[in-house]
Structure 1
Amino acid sequence: MVNIDLTGKIAVITGASGQLGRVMARTLAQAGADIAVHYFGNRTKAEEIASEIRSLGVRSIAVKADVTDLTNVLDMRNTIRQQLGDPHIVVDSAVVQYDWKTVLEQPIEDYVSQFKSCVLHNVNMAKAFIPAMQERREGRFIGINTECAMQMWPTQSAYASAKRGMDGILKVLAKEVGAYGITVNEVAPGWTYSDNERKNPLDDSGYVQSVPLKRRGTDQDIANAVLFLASDLASYITGVYLPVCGGNEMPCI
């Protein structure tokens, strides 16, 4: 039997108090990893997640940072290093939320916020955490992208453009750090079912009809893909944009 065992590994997950991040944190912890639960605004939820993870028998701390600010990210790195050690796994899940509008209606500030939270976020995390991975000569760097980066439907411009920029950054990074045994990959969720919608379901019938598997993905589906890419099973996979959207988007050769 093949099992994914992350015992002895340390992971930092940005946005780990959020809808998808909290399930990623639980899933990697269930595989044995120690978890740094990053948050920006929701300290109560982050502390709750960290406490839940500690009950699994692994270490966990909640850490606050503005991921768009390099100084903040470096301070977070120092805290994680002191309390847990240098992470083997980085998962960049945090993103700024905003109202989607047409290009002509979308405020410039939204393009700036998306660039910062998708592109600079990943740059800052790389600058902070990749050097220790290089010294160790192993590491997993995983960015959470989106199917929207391929769809580019009306009103997606700020989000899709930033996520496409993120894709470019991470593909370059994959080529730059591969010789150190570090993999760099992306998981691209579709419209994903999570805690918020379990409490307040939305009409998703139109979307589901477009999905070949005829269902919405769940937060656990996304976390499972992250777990795989974080594991030794994915040690020869790098530079990948992996849609986890039931086939709603299929990259072609």
Structure 2
Amino acid sequence: MSIDLSGKTALITGATGQLGRVMAKTLAKAGADIILHYHKNEEKANALAEEIRALGVRCFAVSCDVGELNSVFAMRDQIAASFSMPDIIVDNAVVQYVPWTSVLEQNPADYESQFRSCVMQNVNMAKAFLPFMKERGYGRMIGINTECAMQNFPGQSAYVSGKRGMDGVMRVLAKEVGPFGITVNQVAPGWTISDRDRENHTEVQPQSDALIPLRRRGTDQEVANAVLFLASDLASYITGTYLPVCGGNVMPCI
């Protein structure tokens, strides 16, 4: 079976990031028109838009701060005026911060930034776009979570606090909008191989690879494949799920 998203429009937040680029191109190759959200890197967004248009689909690049509701509403209005409203939303943007350190040492501002980019992003995107999906009786909302939300290792507290808060929002939202034909799911990557690893030849990490049941790290394409599946009608009866894409490194239990 092949996945065909022709006639659908997908909005990917944080689309200029390493994982965002692969997800955007993967959905485009399946036939979806693409909305590329970016925060500040307009040059990279425009270059990616040209790559996607070369795949034979339409593409629109738009900037906003996903942690601010009014900014997300402004992005929605731009999309409504100049493109097509999304049938599929992939909430991928996240604030990167360093260092990861202990709770006692972590800067309190890091917890606030993770709350805004992990929790409020999903709240704001839902408020902006799900009313349209409810009217149409169809929609896919996919959030990018992390295996760290289950690991809770030392040093992860700011990141984990945002992602675990996101998990709660997404599970409640799945129950609230399910009656309108909208599915809400999460993909949780592990430590993923990206172009940066390929350039630096750091794909193989013997110590960490030995701890993963599949004995290797996953790739950005494998994460994008999971997003593609959840965006498609093959996943029409799946909602409220937290799907690890980490080679079995974490396993949700019953």
Q: What interval of TM-score do these two structures reach, taking the shorter chain for normalisation? A: over 0.9
Q: What aligned pairs does 1:7-46 form with structure 2 within 5 A after superposition?
A: 7-46=6-45
In structure 1, the residue matched to 2:191 is 191
Kindly provide the amino acid, as one letter, of the partner of residue 244 in structure 1.
Answer: V
Q: Distance in 2 between matches of 1:82 and 1:25?
A: 22
Q: What aligned pairs does 1:117-128 form with structure 2 within 5 A after superposition?
A: 117-128=117-128
SS in 2 for 1:36: strand
In structure 2, the residue matched to 1:205 is 206
Superposed displacement of residue 37, structure 1: 0.5
Deviations 1:14-61 (A, max 9, x none): 000001000000000000000001111211111111111111111001
Q: What aligned pairs does 1:169-188 form with structure 2 within 5 A after superposition?
A: 169-188=169-188
SS in 1 for 2:210: helix
How many residue pairs get aligned? The number is: 252
Kindly provide the amino acid, as one letter, of the partner of residue 197 in structure 1.
Answer: D
Q: Distance in 2 between matches of 1:79 and 1:17?
A: 19
Deviations 1:51-77 (A, max 9, x none): 111111110011101000011111111
* RMSD over equivalenced CA pairs, Å: 0.8
Q: Distance in 1 between matches of 2:223 and 2:55?
A: 21
Gaps of 5+ in 2: none
Kindly provide the amino acid, as one letter, of the partner of residue 234 in structure 2.
Answer: L
In structure 2, the residue matched to 1:97 is 96
In structure 1, the residue matched to 2:111 is 111
SS in 2 for 1:192: coil
Kindly provide the amino acid, as one letter, of the partner of residue 234 in structure 1.
Answer: A
Q: Distance in 2 between matches of 1:43 and 1:197?
A: 24
SS in 2 for 1:210: coil
Q: What aligned pairs does 1:48-63 form with structure 2 within 5 A after superposition?
A: 48-63=47-62
Deviations 1:202-242 (A, max 9, x none): 46221111110011000000000000000000000000000
Q: Distance in 2 between matches of 1:252 and 1:32?
A: 35
Superposed displacement of residue 166, structure 1: 0.1
Superposed displacement of residue 199, structure 1: 1.5
Q: What aligned pairs does 1:123-138 form with structure 2 within 5 A after superposition?
A: 123-138=123-138
Superposed displacement of residue 141, structure 1: 0.2
Q: Distance in 2 between matches of 1:70 and 1:44?
A: 24
Contact 1:191–1:217 (CA<8 Å) still a contact in 2? yes
Q: Distance in 2 between matches of 1:37 and 1:177?
A: 24
In structure 1, the residue matched to 2:3 is 4
Q: Distance in 1 between matches of 2:164 and 2:153?
A: 14
Kindly provide the amino acid, as one letter, of the partner of residue 131 in structure 1.
Answer: P
Kindly provide the amino acid, as one letter, of the partner of residue 10 in structure 1.
Answer: T
Superposed displacement of residue 143, structure 1: 0.1
Kindly provide the amino acid, as one letter, of the partner of residue 62 in structure 2.
Answer: V
TM-score normalized by structure 1? 0.98
Kindly provide the amino acid, as one letter, of the partner of residue 28 in structure 1.
Answer: L
In the alignment, structure 1 residue 228 sits paired with structure 2 residue 229: yes
Deviations 1:169-209 (A, max 9, x none): 00000000000000000000000000112122446221111
Q: Distance in 2 between matches of 1:229 and 1:84?
A: 23
TM-score normalized by structure 2? 0.98
SS in 2 for 1:250: coil
